[in-house]
Amino acid sequence: MAFPLCAAAITVATVVNAGTAAAAGHDEALPNYPLAYMAIDAESGVCMIVGSEESGAKSATWLREDGEWKKVGEGPKLLLTSTFEYHAASETFVLLGGTLSEQHRVATDDCWLFRNGRWEEFDGEKPPARYRSEMSYDPNRERIVLFGGVGTMAFLDDTWEFDGKAWQKIDVTGPFQRYAPAMAFDRESKTTVLFGGYKAGAAYNNETWEYDGESWRQIDPQGKLPIHRFGGAMTTNPQGGVAMFSGFVADADLWEYRKGAWKQIHDGRAPVHATDGIPAKRRWAAFAYDPLEHAYVLYGEPNAERQSPAIWWKFTDGKWERLKN
């Protein structure tokens, strides 16, 4: 099914120069930022972390090149509960939405793109203001899919797509209004998978939905289901299916979804602080499949102070392993 593209393409309103490798400081180690967003391309291993000490502060941009992290300069002011994704076809990182404070939640329509070594503020037609939304990249159709969140007046249930040049609102009926679902692309079924979130008037849920680019479909999965949650982190599995880590009211559990069935691969029972080789439970984790490690990886610890080097976790052979930066 073909959809008309938005008439407005990219207009650069503001540019933040990311700097050069010479200015990056190769001897500086990636720290453990209290506020950070991470995106990894599951095929190439291209990876970026944008981190800040607090909401509203200027961020630092880090890229992994040849297996090593390099700080490439400043980024936009980071906000809480934004959403971050990589558009592989155009080699563009997209940072969208957010709110300045959990106490005074005001949704923003900020949309920043990182490409060609610099940040550009997108100033064309774009999704309206929101926070706690979710994005996922569909490599088959070369589109980033955006769903839901909290807007200026209410929870949202809209679906948008970004093709690397323009945003397009999709005329489709999908999941009920909600914020902070987990979402990732399943290369085997060629669908975007959505789980849970906080529904308007109905609190947490454990619904599973799939989107094929034309329609959303609610799935009745086989077997045991993950508990109700919002703010879980989901990533693609190149071998097929998706994986989901933790979230609010959940432990630091790890699940895989494939061919219509959920399977728990780690129960994640641990106290708030990481002990006994298990990362702490959290919302909106920096969690992804890393093709360089051939494993799921997790950046940072929510209760740790800013550190150098950063805290990394890797899940392999059924267990978590803490790594060095």
Residue 98 sits in a domain whose CATH number is: 2.120.10.80
Choose among 237, 136, 118: nearest CA to 182: 136
Asked if 306 and 33 touch (Cβ cutoff 8 Å), the reply is yes
Which pair of tokens denotes residue 273?
Answer: 């602080």
Residue-level pLDDT, tens digit, the chain, 325 residues: 332 223 223 222 334 444 433 333 344 789 999 999 999 999 999 999 999 999 999 999 999 988 889 999 999 999 999 999 999 999 999 999 999 988 888 999 999 999 999 999 999 999 999 999 999 999 999 999 999 999 999 999 999 999 999 999 999 999 999 999 999 999 999 999 999 999 998 789 999 999 999 999 999 999 899 999 999 999 999 899 999 999 998 999 999 999 999 999 999 875 455 455 789 899 999 999 999 999 999 998 876 666 567 889 999 989 999 886 5
Establish if 199 belongs to a structural domain. yes
Establish if 5 belongs to a structural domain. no
Structural domain that includes position 115: 16-163+171-323
Asked if 284 and 231 touch (Cβ cutoff 8 Å), the reply is yes
Round to whole Å and give the CA distance between 262 and 290: 21
pLDDT of residue 220: 97
Establish if 71 belongs to a structural domain. yes
Round to whole Å and give the CA distance between 154 and 128: 12
- Cβ neighbors of 214 (< 8 A, separation 6 or more) are 1, 172
Q: How many independent structural domains does the chain possess?
A: 1
Establish if 298 belongs to a structural domain. yes
Establish if 9 belongs to a structural domain. no
pLDDT of residue 21: 32
Helix H or strand E encompassing 52: strand 47-52
Round to whole Å and give the CA distance between 117 and 19: 8
Radius of gyration of the chain (CA): 18
pLDDT of residue 307: 59
Establish if 221 belongs to a structural domain. yes
Establish if 1 belongs to a structural domain. no
Establish if 86 belongs to a structural domain. yes
φ, ψ of residue 205 in degrees (nearest 5): -150, 170
CA-CA distances (angstroms) from residue 246 to 95, 182, 268? Answer: 22, 10, 8
∠ CA 247-251-253, rounded to 5°: 85
Other beta carbons within 10 angstroms of residue 23's beta carbon come to: 11
Which pair of tokens denotes residue 67?
Answer: 């297996």
- Cβ neighbors of 202 (< 8 A, separation 6 or more) are 176
pTM for this model (two decimals): 0.89
In 56-213, alpha helices (H): none
